Structure 1
Amino acid sequence: MSNANMRVIATLAKAVLGDREGTKALDTLHVAPALMAERGPTVSRAAFAMAMNVALFHDLLRRVPSGATYVADTLARGERVTFDHGALRTIRLPLGPTGALPGGEDAFTRIFVPLGYRMATVYPLDRLKMTGRAYTHADHPDAIPQFFLSQLHVDRFDAEFSDAAARVFGTSRDPLDDQAQSVLARYRDGQPVPLADALTALPTILSAFDRQHDAPAFADYQLLLSRSNEAAWIATEGNAFNHATDRVADVAALA
């Protein structure tokens, strides 16, 4: 069967995860039938966003044993996970970009906005010296997972912290190559994206959800940790998901 005749989200997920893990990931999550039904030679921004989230959720389970256990228990009850949102953290240096990356949340809004996400709510996290923003999908706000994107403001810390942050995060590389940026530009402009181009771009865009800077020197890590647990986490884990959630009817009852 040609890719053009296969379901688009399944094709994308299996291309980046492999047939076995891709099938497993899709069987874990509740994906809206309307999204799963998409077929053809082009990929909508909604289908691309959903496939991206399937792969990101799979990566989180690979890294977080407690998450994998929760999912296994859910599947054992004959249920699936409704992926509500994933969260990631970014660094905003006082001036300019973060190494070769756009500063702070800009490194991800350049991905989210072309794929159909819109900023919905701002959450001041003043105690953490951060700002959080929720992004929901314009086409399918209830069916495609949201993102909670937070930004740590280095300029709210002391000079010693700022110097360490510059040393650590200033080595950041930009993972998006010309091809991935071209695909995002097509989505931004409302143009169709051929399946072959989406298949090439997806692994590159997924690589943005990782650490882009060099491993921190231990002294710099310790200094960041002394002021901010979140900064220290970003120093070692980068822009990987720090959590993902299942949508449940009664959070209190589950807890």
Structure 2
Amino acid sequence: MGGSAVLSALAGVRTRLVQSQSIGYDGVVKVLPAGVVFANAASVHEASTAELTVALMLAAQRGIPDFVRAAEHGRWAPARYASLADRRVLIVGYGGVGKAVEARLAGFEVELTRVASRARDEDGVHVHGIDELPQLLPEADVVVIGTPLSDATRGLVDDAFLSALPDGALVVNIARGPVADTDAVLKHATEGRLRFALDVTDPEPLPDGHPLFALPNVLISPHVGGATSAMMPRMAKLLRRQIERMLAGEEPLNVVLRT
């Protein structure tokens, strides 16, 4: 997990399946030896990542970091902050994590818009194509970035993307750091026009003393979306299910690469 380079050690090893502990598999195809079936860990991290996403949204909207900072200095600092209720939330990336975030927002009375790589109607809701972002971004109060990292999404959240957002909008990145251009994020955060809640960064880990850490409108968690007590039991459950399926002569789940 988080160390795809070690996969090169599988050269010459005969195995029916290589099972990842991560959902994302960016960079894996470059180091995976030929003849390998590779599955990601869909079903393991979605719930925990969605929990953190909503937690970051609530913390940023309701001023929790400011309250914590004031409490550290022994100060009582009441203030009125933006609600999550009645906000227009744009989910960019409508896969397992995006759908899990949507499910957890159901009770928060938000206006939800979904975006994926292509427009479609799915399970009774409309999903916009990513080409529609220029029209959708100016109407968003909160943007959740949950896309896979690929050539198409690298640097997706750039200066043009951020400039299209209205003043005061919140950008929550729980995808991969390189989906966002760090220089553009730093520019808009420093100007104070936008707010950010980032579980992933580029580079990662973010170096000690990086200017993003010092900005009051930036909330950073250290890539811990899936790092909860739910992870290992769910990973064990997936492994057992994979083994049982293969012993029964069935195809494994979640296969994303065949080299």
TM over 0.5: no
TM-score, length basis structure 2: 0.23
Q: Which has the higher helix share?
A: 1
Which structure has the larger Rg? 2
